[in-house]
Amino acid sequence: MTDTIKEVPFHPGISKYSYERSIARGNRKGLITANDERLILEFVTWKSVESNISPSRRNKITSTLVNWKRFLPVEYPALTMTDLMTGIMNMKTGKSETGNPLKTNTQHDFVRILKMFLYWM
């Protein structure tokens, strides 16, 4: 009698995470430019190698940086301190895509991820 072992991922559903979908959505909605896309992908690749982050973390970082563009008026490389402060104020008073105010934890995640990205730039 031979038993076959079925390979199952340790975390079921992990394959559903795809940061490319966040990029495609950002492009489709006109939130990011080709330059923004390039920088986001470079950063996520660097972060993946540097910190060995999981697919879900890559998606979180990517989707957050894409969603930031709803509040930031310019491309990431052209961002000034005034643009940044205005964007943070807009995010704190802004709404989610469902029309609800952003939760405090979401706001903290947004700021933390953007800060990490801007330091990298």
Q: Could you tell me the mean pLDDT of each successive run of 10 residues in the chain, 121 residues long?
A: 50 61 92 95 95 91 95 94 96 89 94 97 93
Res 73: pLDDT: 85
- Least Cα distance to 41 among 32, 52, 29 occurs for 32
- Least Cα distance to 58 among 70, 43, 39, 71 occurs for 43
- Residues composing the chain: 121
Res 74: pLDDT: 93
